[in-house]
């Protein structure tokens, strides 16, 4: 978001320059870990990213997950979290 044209103006003269910022890729600092739970429990998946508040998508297989009573999705700074409430065998 800092990319753009900047200028310095004295009133009589002006100097301009362009700034191009190359965004670094978002990487995982801490990966997801396998979990095991009993039916009816809540399970929490967490991962840590290299950038604050990066856009993330949670998926089960190819299906994208969205916040609802079953799935709680949080993003706080560099930590992304998915909580699955009341797990059932089909959640595996």
Residue 65, pLDDT score: 97
- Neighbour-count burial of 43, counting CB atoms closer than 10 A to its CB (0-12 exposed, 13-18 middle, 19+ buried): middle
CATH class of 28-84: mainly beta
Q: Nearest to residue 40, comparing CAs of 70, 81, 67, 19?
A: 70
Give pLDDT tens digits for 8-17. Answer: 999 999 999 9
Q: Do the Cβ atoms of 81 and 73 come closer than 8 Å?
A: yes
Confidence class for position 38, pLDDT limits 50, 70, 90: very high
Look at the block and give the residue holding tokens 């429990």: 41
- Neighbour-count burial of 34, counting CB atoms closer than 10 A to its CB (0-12 exposed, 13-18 middle, 19+ buried): exposed
Rounded to two decimals, the pTM is 0.77
For the chain, the average pLDDT equals 96
Domain range summary for the chain, segments of one domain joined by +:
28-84
């Amino acid at each position: 978001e800092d990319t753009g044209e900047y200028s310095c103006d004295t009133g009589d003269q002006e100097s301009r320059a362009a700034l191009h910022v190359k965004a670094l890729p978002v990487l995982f600092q801490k990966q997801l870990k396998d979990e095991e739970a009993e039916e009816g429990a809540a399970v929490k998946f967490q991962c840590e990213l290299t950038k604050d508040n990066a856009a993330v998508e949670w998926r089960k297989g190819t299906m994208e997950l969205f916040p609802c009573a079953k799935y709680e999705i949080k993003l706080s700074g560099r930590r992304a979290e998915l909580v699955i409430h009341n797990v059932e065998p089909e959640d595996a």
